[in-house]
């Protein structure tokens, strides 16, 4: 039997709530964070376009098991629509496709906002990651094909004007569900107002359960980063290499369990925790113990232990976490 290769990096776990700068892709951001933390494993909870800035939650180690719960969380964006021009990508990157000399008033814009809140049907942009017959829409669009993307249901809890700097631009804030395209909002509002429009600024400020105060910048991460061990003139490591101190960098992590605030929390004692670590169910005792729950998470000594479900007063683990 072939031997497994040794994992590269540290077994560090937790969430980096990265304030992604404009111009950096989401995959590039994950690679950068993984390298800075020298982590074994990393992944992100929801792509953010290179032209957008703001919150990109990045999971390290065991936190990657909780990514789906963050991806399903409500998002908050601040964005600027520039009126008078619709573009092929519905943002600054594309070519103009329609223009208008008309400019909407604040009153006109406010009048249409109720139509974009609640559960609505939305057609994603031509340049999007939606798959059409197995191919990404943006790949087809780059080849010059115009594809019919079916409308899909999204939920918008809140859409409001936050600034009206001049007749050409309006700044909004939107709170919305997973799968909402803010670029589509700009396109559709522009069409309804008869003036056309596209996104000229886009920033994500919340991905539930994380908030703007959790953001950490690349500069802050690099400042806390421990330098690599010194090397000689030929590039060889100098022995013995000093131990790198990642404590300042690790202090910027948010605990893995923070991603599961949406689930019922079950605190286990040491004996129960040991049974769950072995994959066994445990009986939940106490007057307030829930009898049933489709999903719940168990903690031991304040640390996330497992995700599972509760059935007939028993917690049954589905995914167990190693110690962080």
Burial class (CB in 10 A: 0-12, 13-18, 19+), 177: middle
User: To which residue do tokens 């077994």 refer?
Assistant: 11
Note whether 140 and 116 are same-domain residues: yes
Does 35 map to a domain? yes
- Evaluate if residue 263 carries a pLDDT over 60: yes
Q: What is the residue range of 32's domain?
A: 14-73+209-224
What's the total number of domains in the chain? 3
Per-residue tokens: 245: 């101190």
* pLDDT of 221 strictly over 80: yes
Q: Which of 164, 196, 224 is the last residue of a domain?
A: 224
In this structure, the answer to whether residues 216 and 69 fall within a common structural domain is: yes
Asked whether the predicted pLDDT for residue 5 surpasses 80, the reply is no
The reported pLDDT for the residue numbered 324 is 47
Pair 163, 80 in one domain: yes
Note if 49 is an active site residue.
yes
Same domain? 51 vs 132 = no
d(CA 255, CA 303): 8
Does the structure show a pLDDT above 50 at 1? no
Mean pLDDT of 43-55: 91
Residue 240 lies in a domain: no
Mean pLDDT in residue range 202-212 = 96
Q: Which residue has the higher pLDDT, 8 or 24?
A: 24
User: What pLDDT score does 180 carry?
Assistant: 93
Do 185 and 286 share a domain, yes or no?
no
> Quick one: pLDDT at residue 155?
96
pLDDT at residue 241, as a whole number: 58
Taking the alpha carbons of 154, 158, 163, 167 in that order, is the dihedral positive or negative?
A: positive
The residue annotated as part of the active site, out of 19, 49, 91, 188, is 49
Claim to verify: residue 129 and residue 65 sit in the same structural domain: no
Note whether 163 and 98 are same-domain residues: yes
pLDDT tens for residues 52-109?
Answer: 999 999 999 999 999 999 999 999 999 999 999 999 889 998 899 999 999 999 999 9
pLDDT confidence bin for 232, thresholds 50/70/90: low
In a domain, 250, yes or no: no
119, 195: one domain: yes
What CATH number is associated with residue 101?
3.30.2350.10
Q: Are residues 68 and 81 in the same domain?
A: no
Residue 246 belongs to some domain of the structure: no
Tell me which residue of 60, 55, 48, 56 sits closest to 15, measured CA to CA. Answer: 60
Please give the C-alpha separations between residue 267 and each of 257, 284, 297, 298, in angstroms, as whole numbers. Answer: 12, 9, 9, 6
Q: How far apart are CA 237 and CA 57, in angstroms?
A: 34
Residue 138, pLDDT score: 54
| 170-179, 284-293, 298-307: segment of lowest average pLDDT | 284-293
Output the pLDDT for position 48.
87
pLDDT score of 94: 86
> Could you report the per-residue pLDDT of 150-178, keeping only the tens digit for each?
788 999 999 999 999 999 999 999 999 98
pTM more than 0.85:
yes
User: How deeply is 58 buried, as exposed, middle or buried, from its count of CB atoms within 10 A (0-12, 13-18, 19+)?
Assistant: buried
* pLDDT over 50 (residue 242): yes
In the predicted model, what is the mean pLDDT of the chain? 88
Residue 237 within any structural domain of the chain: no
Instruction: Note whether residue 241 is domain-resident.
Output: no
As a whole number of angstroms, the distance between CA 96 and CA 139 comes to 19
Instruction: State whether 43 and 86 are in the same domain.
Output: no
- Give the pLDDT confidence of 108-129 residue by residue, as tens digits: 999 999 999 999 999 887 655 5
Residues 156 and 220 grouped into a single domain: no
The answer to whether residue 229 sits within a structural domain is no
302: CATH: 2.30.130.10
Does residue 103 sit within a domain? yes
CB atoms within 10 A of CB 90: 26
d(CA 267, CA 315): 11
**Domain end call among 160, 194, 224:** 224
Q: Do residue 193 and residue 93 come from a single domain? A: yes
Domain boundary among the residues 167, 193, 224 is at 224
Mean pLDDT of 8-14: 90
């Amino acid at each position: 039997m072939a031997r497994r290769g040794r994992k590269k990096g540290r077994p560090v776990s937790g969430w980096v709530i990265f304030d992604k700068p404009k111009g950096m892709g989401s995959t590039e951001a994950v690679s950068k964070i993984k390298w800075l933390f020298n982590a074994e494993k990393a992944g992100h909870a929801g792509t953010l376009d290179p032209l957008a800035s703001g919150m990109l939650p990045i999971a390290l180690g065991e936190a990657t098991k909780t990514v789906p719960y963050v991806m399903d969380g409500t998002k908050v964006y601040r964005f600027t629509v520039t009126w008078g021009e619709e573009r092929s990508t519905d943002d600054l990157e594309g070519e103009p496709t329609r223009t208008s000399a008309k400019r909407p008033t604040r009153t006109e814009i406010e009048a249409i906002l109720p139509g974009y809140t609640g559960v609505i049907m939305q057609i994603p942009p031509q340049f999007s990651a939606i798959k059409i017959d197995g191919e990404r829409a943006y790949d087809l669009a780059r080849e010059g094909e115009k594809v019919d993307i079916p409308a899909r249901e999204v939920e918008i809890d809140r859409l409001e004007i936050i600034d009206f700097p001049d007749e050409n631009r309006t700044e909004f804030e939107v709170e919305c569900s997973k799968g909402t395209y803010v670029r589509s909002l700009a396109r559709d509002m522009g069409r309804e107002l008869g003036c056309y429009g596209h996104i000229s600024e886009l920033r994500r400020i919340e991905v539930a359960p994380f908030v703007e105060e959790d953001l950490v910048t690349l500069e802050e991460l690099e400042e806390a980063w421990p330098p690599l061990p010194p090397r000689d003139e030929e590039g060889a490591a100098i022995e013995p290499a000093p131990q790198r101190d990642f404590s300042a960098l690790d202090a910027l992590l948010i605990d893995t369990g923070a991603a599961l605030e949406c689930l019922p929390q079950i605190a286990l004692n040491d004996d129960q925790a040991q049974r769950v670590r072995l994959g066994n169910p445990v009986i939940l005792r106490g007057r307030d113990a829930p009898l049933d729950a489709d999903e719940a998470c168990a903690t031991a000594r304040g640390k996330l232990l497992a995700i599972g479900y509760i059935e007939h007063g028993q917690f049954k683990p589905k995914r167990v976490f190693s110690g962080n």
